[in-house]
Chain A
């Protein structure tokens, strides 16, 4: 018990520098869609960037979901007797 305690008390030196993480965070900031809130874009906090990243990933997931639903509807409603339906069907049915 005491040995575990002393191990946890040792200073936790991160092998990766803060600068590297800050560089990655700035790259993330460039990827996520710019909105009005990031007007003072020089000093955007890391937590804000992370939050926007999570929101963006969630919105991308939602888009994939919506597109799958749309495609499912489209494929269901294609007429059985048509050249176009044959094209689509030959593609993936």
Chain B
């Protein structure tokens, strides 16, 4: 909906711009036909309209491009930040031992990638904070995390997470009691008359509930979120995961190309 409004607004601006342009042309030609008596007026008019025209054009193009530009810069910024931090992390953890077996190196690469992605978000999202605090729990990662994230303390988010999990448990418990009392009532009413609740809606709600539980386990820190924040965080998490995959894939392709070119140069 917002996109449509934006598009409509932009098209109106373009239309106005064309009208403005033709209006200027008409005025200029009109004034030029009588230029014998209006020298100063012409120059002033010309300057004003050309200046206004230019700024108007700039306004329009920046509006149209602004939206697209904003979309691209945020993801390309994230890509850049992620790559920087990932490479730095790999330097830290892969420099210590020369010979590592395949699985160990793979785990380190993956760990660096996850922490780099989360720290590239700069504590703006809940899932990234949860990921970092989870990584900090393991003592071995302390150096890596401190280097990538910086020595700021992330104790605040973990505290709030614990508080909300307490609330969640209380809410779950009271919901269970509510459900039990509802079921007890319905067991009697079923035999009496038509069912009070709509079966389709009931099943749909149960499905949504089940799927939400699964999503909570997939998004880092999701267990302590309400449904609204969970979906918001999932949106950002998916976009960030895409960035991670894109950068890692390009890196792997580049490394492969380097290896291949080397092999071919040896054969030659």
> What is the interface of chain A, defined by CB distance below 8 A to chain B?
4-5, 7-9, 16, 20-21, 24-25, 27-28, 31-32, 45-47, 50-51, 53-54, 56-58, 60-61, 63-65, 67-79, 82-85, 87-88, 91-93
Besides A57-B238, A60-B238, A79-B262, 12 new A-B residue pairs in contact (Cβ under 8 A), listed by A number: A16-B226, A28-B235, A31-B239, A32-B238, A45-B204, A50-B212, A57-B218, A57-B219, A71-B251, A74-B255, A85-B262, A92-B91
- B261 at the binding interface (Cβ < 8 Å): yes
Interface size of B in residues (CB-CB distance below 8 Å): 53
- Which residues in window 232-268 of B have CB below 8 A to A? 232, 234-235, 237-239, 241-242, 244-245, 248-249, 251-252, 255-256, 258-259, 261-262
> What is the interface of chain B, defined by CB distance below 8 A to chain A?
87, 90-91, 94-95, 102-103, 105-107, 109-110, 113-114, 174-175, 177-178, 181, 204, 207-208, 210-212, 214-215, 218-219, 226-228, 231-232, 234-235, 237-239, 241-242, 244-245, 248-249, 251-252, 255-256, 258-259, 261-262
Give bound CA distance, A60 to B231, whole Å: 17
Determine if A54 and B232 form an interchain contact, defined as CB atoms under 8 angstroms apart: no
Of all chain A residues, the one with the shortest Cβ separation from B256 is: A74
Are A28 and B231 CB-contacts (below 8 A) given A87-B258, A92-B87, A92-B90?
yes
Determine if A70 and B252 form an interchain contact, defined as CB atoms under 8 angstroms apart: yes
Of all chain B residues, the one with the shortest Cβ separation from A16 is: B228
The binding surface of chain A is classed by DSSP as helix
Determine if A64 and B174 form an interchain contact, defined as CB atoms under 8 angstroms apart: no
Contacts of B228 in A (CB 8 A): 16, 20-21, 24
